[in-house]
Amino acid sequence: MIYLYKIKITPSNRKNILYQMERLDNIDLKILKLLQENGRLTNKELASKVHLSITPVYERLRRLENEGYIKKYVALLDADKLNRGFIVLCNVKLARINKDLATEFTQRIMNIPEVTECYNISGSYDYMLKIHAPDMKYYQEFIINVLGAMSNIDSIESVFVMSLIKQSFAIPVEVE
């Protein structure tokens, strides 16, 4: 069952939400939950865990992928072992904002490998970036030479992560 207590149903989105509710049954949700725990499960292993044969699980998996419920499969790497364990949350305020300037900023951010996440946020800043760097010196050079080279940035506030308490990439999925 899908719980919709946080989603506002309006006349414009009602049909789409109801369609999605009909499309995901408890087995689909169980498959999604299992794959979030271990993306390397084989179709045979998934089938065993959801009590179906391999072919229906394969068909469900392809449908979940094709409909965008599963975006991609990735390996989670150890940033410390790769000398990228210095994590900074960088708030960015643009000097001016309009559609073209926002598009230009986001396109440039998409091409910076050190930026692993970028959020358009509300409040005093326009964007929050998650940046992985080897150390403070590298980050200082990054601010000066990369972000500092962007003419539309008004101000930057950096928050340095002292320790990682929780990191999960799983979306909560309720399974009956």
Strand order in the sheet with 127-133: 115-120, 127-133, 86-94, 153-160
Where along the chain do its domains lie?
1-76, 86-160
pLDDT at 161: 98
What's the angle, vertex CA 117, arms to CA 112 and CA 122, rounded to 5? 115
For the stretch 8-34, pLDDT in tens is 556 666 555 545 555 799 999 999 999
d(CA 27, CA 38): 16
Span of 3-7, 58-62, 75-79, 94-98 with lowest mean pLDDT: 3-7
* Higher-scoring residue by pLDDT: 105, 11: 105
Domain 1-76 has CATH 1.10.357.10: no
**Strand 127-133 relative to strand 115-120: parallel, antiparallel, unpaired?**
antiparallel
Would you state the structure tokens that stand for residue 149, as one six-digit string?
């080279």
Q: Which fold has domain 86-160?
A: Alpha-Beta Plaits (3.30.70)
For the stretch 122-159, pLDDT in tens is 999 999 999 999 999 999 999 999 999 999 999 999 99
Q: Quote the pTM value.
A: 0.80
CB-CB neighbours of 13 under 10 Å: 11
- Whether residue 164 has pLDDT greater than 80: yes
